[in-house]
Amino acid sequence: MRVLIVALGTMGDVAPYTGLAAPLRAAGHEVAIAAFPRFAELVRACGAEFREIAGDPAAAGGWTQAENSSRALRSVTAQTLELGESVLAVAKDGIDVLLLSMPAQAGMYVAESLGIPSMGLFLQPLFPTAAHPPSFLGTGGSLGSWGNRAAGHLVLGLMGRLAVRGIRELRARLGLPPATRRELGAQMDAWTVLHAYSPSVLPRPVDWRAGLEVSGYLWPAVPPDWRPPADLAGFLDAGPPPVYVGFGSRNIADGARIVEVVEEALRLAGARGVLHAGWAGLASRSDRLLTIGQTPHEWLFPRMAAVVHHCGAGTTAAGLRAGVPTVGVPILGDQPFWAGRVAALGAGPRPVPYGKLSAARLAEAISGAVSDPSYRTAATALSRRVAVENGAGAVVAALDRVAR
C-alpha cells in the first residue's frame, strides 16, 4: 500500500510523523511525507519520499492574526483552497491512502475526490468532551464537565464556520457534490481520527464517539549516524547536568531580551544551561549558557537536569519521555493546555506564561524543578509508562483497517 502522510506546520508539527516511516515500511507499505519545502531534508533522512507542499510554516497560521472576522474568513478560505490544490497535486499519482495531520484535514475531500480512504492523525485533542477543555482555548485548567464540553463545541463550531466556505469551494473545484454544513458535520463524525499522544498523559475521554482513539506518542526518527557537536559534548562533560531552554519554531521579536532573562535566571538558580537557537536565532555569550542548533531531543533531554520550553506537543512528549522535570513557558495555541497537563501530572512546577516571563519567576521555577525530588519522581514514573506504549504500531494497525 502506498501511504502519503500530509504533515503541515512547524518542526514540532512535522517531526513526529517521521517516526512512522520505518514501521510502515516494515509492514510492507511505501511511505511518502508531504510537507513544506524547509523540511525536505528531515523527511528524506527518515527514509520516506518527500513531496512538497507549497508554503511557509511561519505564515500558515496567518488567519489568527487577522484584524477582523471577515479577513479571517477570507484567509481561511484561501488557505483551504491552496491546501486542497497542493494535496491533490502530491496525491493524485500512485497513492492508496492519505494520513492527515490536523492542519491538513481538508485533505479528506481530496481523498474523497480520488476515491481513496483517509484518516486523521492529530497531535492534539480537537473534539468536544467533558473530560478537559479544548486544547486551543489557551488554558491548562478544567472548566468543569459542562464548561469543558460547552467550550469544546464553541471552539469546534467557530472553526467550522471559518472553514465552511473554503470547504464548499474546494469541493466544487474537486468535482464533488455540494454539501450542507450538516452533511459536512456528518462526514466528519464518520471519519477515523487517531490522536498521537500518550493515554498516560491524557486518557481517551469516555464520551468520545467511536472512531476517535488515542494511539500513543510518535517519536521522531533520529539518523543512526548522528553525533553531538564537539562543543556540546564538551560542555556536558565539563560540569553537572544543565537545564535545556528552548521556545520552539517561533520568530521571537524580543529575542535579545529573552536571552538576558534566561541568563539571569540561570545565574539566580545557580544552574548551567543549553539554549536552542530556534528560528529566532537566539544566542548567548554567557559561559554558563551554550547556544545549540537542532539537536535530537531523544539524545539531549535525558542528559538535562530539567527542560524549559514552550510546551508544544512534540517537545512536551520528548520531555516526558526523558523522565526529567519540565518547566512550561507556553506562548500560544495548544501550549498552555500541555503545560497545564504536565503540571497536573506532577512532572513539573506551575507554568510560567511567556507573557509574564521574568528572570526571577523563571529562576524560581528552575530551582524548584531541579531541587524538589517529587517532580523527577513523577516524570520518571510517567516516562516508564510512556516507554511501553507503541503509538506507531497502533497507527499502522488503524491504517490497515481504514484501507480495507
CA–CA separation, 95 and 10 (whole Å): 24
Question: CATH code for 2-217+389-403?
Answer: 3.40.50.2000
Q: What is the model's pLDDT at position 80?
A: 86
Q: Where are the domains of the chain?
A: 2-217+389-403, 230-387
Cell, residue 307: 527542560
Task: Count other C-beta atoms under 10 Å from residue 293's C-beta.
Answer: 9
To the nearest 10 degrees (0 to 180), the angle between helices 335-344 and 313-322 is 20
Fold equal for 2-217+389-403 and 230-387 = yes
Q: How confident is the prediction along the chain (404 residues), in pLDDT tens digits per residue?
A: 999 999 998 898 999 999 999 999 999 999 999 999 999 999 999 999 999 998 776 654 443 333 444 555 567 788 888 899 999 999 988 899 999 999 999 999 999 999 999 999 999 999 999 999 999 877 778 899 999 999 999 988 888 888 888 999 999 999 999 998 889 999 999 999 999 999 999 999 999 999 999 999 999 998 888 899 999 999 999 999 999 999 987 777 788 899 999 999 999 999 999 999 988 889 998 999 999 999 999 999 999 999 999 999 999 999 999 999 999 999 988 999 999 999 999 999 999 999 999 999 999 999 999 999 999 999 999 999 999 999 999 999 999 999 88
Q: Which of 373, 336, 368 is nearest to 351 (CA)?
A: 336
Q: What is the model's pLDDT at position 59?
A: 54
Which residues is 122 bridged to in the sheet?
195
Q: How much is the pTM?
A: 0.93
Q: Which of 108, 87, 71, 257 is nearest to 192 (CA)?
A: 108
Task: Count other C-beta atoms under 10 Å from residue 40's C-beta.
Answer: 14
CA–CA separation, 291 and 202 (whole Å): 33
Q: What is the model's pLDDT at position 61?
A: 46
Which CATH architecture fits 230-387?
Answer: 3-Layer(aba) Sandwich (3.40)
CA–CA separation, 35 and 43 (whole Å): 8
Q: What is the model's pLDDT at position 65?
A: 39
Task: Count other C-beta atoms under 10 Å from residue 348's C-beta.
Answer: 30
- Compute φ and ψ for 286, nearest 5 degrees: -70, 140
